[in-house]
Chains A and B, each alone.
Chain A
Amino acid sequence: MSARLTETTWLDAHCEVTFAELASLSGLAEAELRELVEYGALAPNDPRATQWTFSGECVVLARAAQRLRESFDLDPNALSLAVGLLERIRALEAELRELRAQLPRRVR
């Protein structure tokens, strides 16, 4: 059992992956990813670019999409809807967390 120091990568807006990398990391086929982009569930950094790239946040989303497709047998349309709703929930939860953080502790 080795214990060498492992470096890590943040999956955030500063991390950039190619289309092929996104497919490989998420386990989704490129055709499925293209449909998720078409339906607006995933956004390339520059949709007009000839070679799409995506932020690290898209890796998290695409992996969630793969799990949902696998677990619920969703077609691309339903999958896009589910991913879009999950993303809205995530944004609302972040907003709620921010508002809660501003409440004095005794009235929370």
Chain B
Amino acid sequence: MAGKHGRRVKLSSTPNAGCSVSYGLEMKYKDYYAILGVERNADADAIKKAYRKLAHKYHPDVSKDPQGEAKFKDVAEAYATLKDTEKRAAYDQLGKHAPGENFRPPPDWGRQFGDSHAFEGIDLSDLFEHFAGHGRGAGARRAHMPIPGQDYEGAAHISLEDAYRGATVDLELNVSELDERGLMRRVPRSFKVRIPKGATDGQRLRLRGKGGKGLNGGPDGDLYMNIALHPHALFRASGHDLYLDLPLAPWEAVLGATVQVPTLGGTVELKVPPGTQAGQKLRLANRGLPKPHQGAGDLYAIAQIAVPGIVSDKERALYRELAASASFNPRGHFEEEVKHERQTH
């Protein structure tokens, strides 16, 4: 979610992200056994063990793998089906296909395991997510019980400039919903979202009622957005504070100078005091990211002494003259420190 305001964004979201939606009952095959790395005749214990091992590795709350969330979705989907005896039997009846291959369940599959006409434009995960209890009265129970809509989570990648000014983004989201007849549908949802100014990396936004639709008076689900800031060419963010490298010529560091410094709100003048050391932080109050409720973070310019790569003959002569007349020894403390160490040890 980067670039200009009002852009169109397809939000990656959980659950049901990365859907392989097709038409009618044709859908893409996923090999749940291969996903878990078990044989097709694996027993329940082996399936559970394989799931736990992969969940430790890829669970989005514990994994640092950038692909972990997507991998965990497949792992969780496979386990949810294979741990349930009835679902596993139904899955096995679909036959074995190549992963990603379009296939249709056998003609009698729907009659044997549920109402196949209840699903349109869905994928394998939807099929088994809503499989439980078909033919066991769950559909009837569902018809009367309030069912809250599904919550969704997704990451919103924004620039530092967007975090500074606030931004309006267009979100597109595919949600799986049950309609009033209890039939499963994929529904595209599109809405504009205002991201208030002052977002920081890792902050969460809640969009009330923007998840899946509730049924029978159940509340609509929510959409949770995890804000992720794009790295910036100049500024590094830490909470609402910003850090900027400020290269100074040796004479600017010694003599002091007034320099132009970029900020997210425009260029400002900064007085560099005489005798500024490399690594010293010069604070520009309230020039960081605005805080959502009041105030703003600070901008810290970190002094760096930059040395020219190429010098003219005249400059070289001046440096030599300076070296000959200067009394400054930047390594003068070495000898004293060594002496001190010898005395104490």
Interface residues of chain A, those whose CB is within 8 Å of chain B, are 1-12, 14, 25, 27, 56, 59-60, 63-64, 67-68, 71-72, 86, 94, 97-98, 100-102, 104-106
Other 6 A-B pairs with CB < 8 A, given A72-B55, A94-B239, A100-B236: A1-B189, A8-B193, A8-B196, A10-B292, A71-B55, A98-B241
B281 near A12: Cβ-Cβ < 8 Å:
no
Task: Please report the number of residue pairs spanning A and B whose Cβ atoms sit closer than 8 angstroms.
Answer: 101
Q: How far is the CB of A47 from chain B (nearest CB, A)?
A: 24
Q: How large is the interface on B (under 10, 10 to 19, 20 to 34, 35 or more residues)?
A: 35 or more
B293 near A14: Cβ-Cβ < 8 Å:
yes
B206 near A8: Cβ-Cβ < 8 Å:
yes
B16 at interface by CB-CB < 8 Å: no
B210 at interface by CB-CB < 8 Å: yes
Please name all residues of chain A whose beta carbon is closer than 8 Å to the beta carbon of B243 when the two chains form the complex.
Answer: 101-102
> What sequence of 0s and 1s flags, for each residue 112-155 of chain B, a beta carbon within 8 Å of any chain A beta carbon?
00000000000000000000000000000000000000010000
B302 near A104: Cβ-Cβ < 8 Å:
yes
What secondary structure prevails in chain B residues at the interface with A?
strand
Q: How far is the CB of A72 from chain B (nearest CB, A)?
A: 6
CB-nearest residue of chain B to A98:
B238
Partner among B76, B170, B194, B239 whose Cβ is within 8 Å of the Cβ of A98: B239
Interface residues in B156-190 by Cβ distance below 8 A to A read 168, 170, 188-190
> What sequence of 0s and 1s flags, for each residue 44-63 of chain B, a beta carbon within 8 Å of any chain A beta carbon?
00000000100100011110
Interface residues of chain B, those whose CB is within 8 Å of chain A, are 52, 55, 59-62, 76, 151, 168, 170, 188-196, 201-208, 210, 222, 224-225, 236-239, 241-243, 245, 279, 281, 292-293, 300, 302, 304
Known: A63-B224, A86-B61, A101-B238. A6 touches B192 (CB 8 A): yes
A6 near B207: Cβ-Cβ < 8 Å:
yes
CB-nearest residue of chain B to A90:
B202
Please name all residues of chain A whose beta carbon is closer than 8 Å to the beta carbon of B208 when the two chains form the complex.
Answer: 9
B304 near A104: Cβ-Cβ < 8 Å:
yes
